[in-house]
Structure 1
Amino acid sequence: MSGKNILIVYAHQEPKSMNGSLKNIAVDVLSKMGCCVTVSDLYAMKFNAAATRNDITGDLCNPQHFSYGIETMEALKKGYLCEDILQEQKKINEADLIIFQFPIYWFSFPAIMKGWIDRCFVQGFAFDIPGCYDTGLLKGKRALLSFTTGGTEDMFSKEGKSGDIRYLLWPIQHGIMHFCGFQVLAPQISYAPEYVSEQRRKEMLNNWAQRLENIWDEDPIDCTPPWYFQ
């Protein structure tokens, strides 16, 4: 682990939250192992989640009909992307592992984290056509989702009211991370921390710390499992 670069993309408004504690554990454990850990604290940064024309600082290719994907792809080539995107892309380039730390909102990322992905994972930087999935431009890097839920583990089971959580994660792990070439590690799920005992919350943090100590020994998961399509 020594010498590895870790980027933690963190989205929670409250530093004392469970997500804040999980983020702090990761910083502490990985730093002690000799990793260089960088945190993008999106709320603290007031990161702009909206993908707009303002993301391109130079002339547009087609000012009469704006296409965000085409314009940002061309702006990347010409050096016309705005500074906050370039700063985050530099962190991504340097990272061996990216940990996404967040609470599940409406079966997905918080908007600010989805906006970070929308704006930073530009065509020509994170993927191309061809140049996606196993040949995605971020291949060789690892990605891990660490998140909290509002519902219990039973609710997110195959028989639960919210359904099997693997189906919730498939468009994120496969449709975003795998699409861009990441090797995706199994998610770290902290179920319903607001509704469990203090002892259980401590166990969640300890389990995360113990996992991180051996994170580089883990094999990536299969992002296109046959069960999904049955």
Structure 2
Amino acid sequence: MKVLLVYAHPEPRSLNGAIRDFAVQRLRGAGHEVQVSDLYAMQWKPQLDASDSKAPKTDAPFHPSLDSKHAFDNGLQSDDIASEQHKLRWADAVILQFPLWWFSMPAILKGWVERVYAYGFAYGVGEHSDQRWGDRYGEGTLAGKRAMLIVTAGGWESHYSARGINGPIDDILFPIHHGMLYYPGFDVLPPYLVYRTGKVDEARFAQIREELGERLDALGTTAPIPFRRQNGGDYLIPQLTLREEVAPQAVGFAAHVDGGRR
């Protein structure tokens, strides 16, 4: 497989740095091709703005989505954006690795998504009608590829449990899993999570290597999270709400996961 690892941590000597190095070594040792986008080392520009086009419009206000579409359609995207899109096209699987900061990914990684996911590349594609509402949520330009998160968190695992103070980790990661990965078509694998990062000693790191190694060895075969397909019949179109007979007792994020396909 061809694997792109998008890495977001400012300190290469950190636990995240050690995990990244192990993941790359394990994947390459298994015969996979690996590219790494180390966003801090690349000094990635996180903000989406008019400079993302090589020929920004000067006669009208900046419009994030429409200007993104114009640049994508006309080959005017900045070189850093075009390069990351090329890596995404190349990859069979994408791993996003980051520490959980303030209940989400670091700003630099969010900025990578905002800039690389251009209109026409990751969204705004496909037919919009009374039968379909675009190619998204299980379809789209990145369909057929796999994606997985490697996430570290300082809190205890119990803090992120179903009744934990921080809220369920599946809910916290839902906007990333469902919105940033499933939306443009990825098959989204369950995440690999490391809790209590401040307490990781040599014994715990050995356990992390063993657990993560098993997950990486199964990158091509692990069953994805069974999110419902937007155009698969579960949703009314164009309302995009679940049909009344579909999981009638389920609400919130969990309603969009088909428990029968687990």
Paired residue for 1:91?
A: 87
Picking from 134, 142, 145, the partner of 1:141 is 145
How far does residue 177 in structure 1 lie from its aligned partner after superposition? 0.7
Question: Structure 1 residue 219 and structure 2 residue 226: aligned?
Answer: no
Paired residue for 1:70?
A: 66
Residues of 1 paired with 2:77 and 2:56: CA distance? 11
How far does residue 127 in structure 1 lie from its aligned partner after superposition? 2.3
How many pairs align? 226
How far does residue 19 in structure 1 lie from its aligned partner after superposition? 1.1
Q: Match of 1:90, SS?
A: helix
8 Å contact kept, 1:170–1:223: no
Residues of 2 paired with 1:153 and 1:174: CA distance? 22
8 Å contact kept, 2:48–2:64: yes
Residues of 2 paired with 1:9 and 1:217: CA distance? 21
How far does residue 196 in structure 1 lie from its aligned partner after superposition? 4.1
Structure-to-structure mapping, 1:1-230, within 5 angstroms:
4-60=1-57, 63-129=59-125, 130-223=134-227, 226=250, 228-229=253-254
RMSD, aligned α-carbons: 1.6
Q: Deviations over 1:122-173 (max 9, x none)?
A: 1211122412112221111111010100111011011211011111011110
Q: Deviations over 1:29-86 (max 9, x none)?
A: 11011111000000001000011100011242x8322211111111111000000101
Residues of 2 paired with 1:95 and 1:196: CA distance? 31
**Which structure is higher in helix share?**
1
Task: Kindly name which structure, 1 or 2, has the bigger radius of gyration based on alpha carbons.
Answer: 2
Residues of 1 paired with 2:171 and 2:227: CA distance? 11
How far does residue 101 in structure 1 lie from its aligned partner after superposition? 0.7
* Letter in structure 2 aligned against 1:121: Y
* Letter in structure 2 aligned against 1:213: D
Q: Which moved more, 1:215-224 or 1:76-85?
A: 215-224
How far does residue 188 in structure 1 lie from its aligned partner after superposition? 0.4
How far does residue 223 in structure 1 lie from its aligned partner after superposition? 3.1
* Letter in structure 2 aligned against 1:49: P
Q: Match of 2:3, SS?
A: strand
Give structure 2 stretches of 5+ with no counterpart: 126-133, 229-246, 256-262
Q: Match of 1:134, SS?
A: coil
Kindly indicate whether structure 1 or structure 2 has the higher relative contact order, using CA contacts under 8 Å at least 6 residues apart. 1
- Give the share of equivalent positions with the same residue, in percent: 37
Under a length normalisation based on structure 2, what TM-score does the superposition of the two structures give?
A: 0.82
* Letter in structure 1 aligned against 2:30: M
* Letter in structure 2 aligned against 1:157: S
Query: Once superposed, which parts of structure 1, at least 4 consecutive aligned residues long, lie more than 4 Å away?
Result: 224-227
Under a length normalisation based on structure 1, what TM-score does the superposition of the two structures give?
A: 0.93
8 Å contact kept, 2:141–2:184: yes
8 Å contact kept, 2:49–2:62: no
Paired residue for 2:235?
A: none
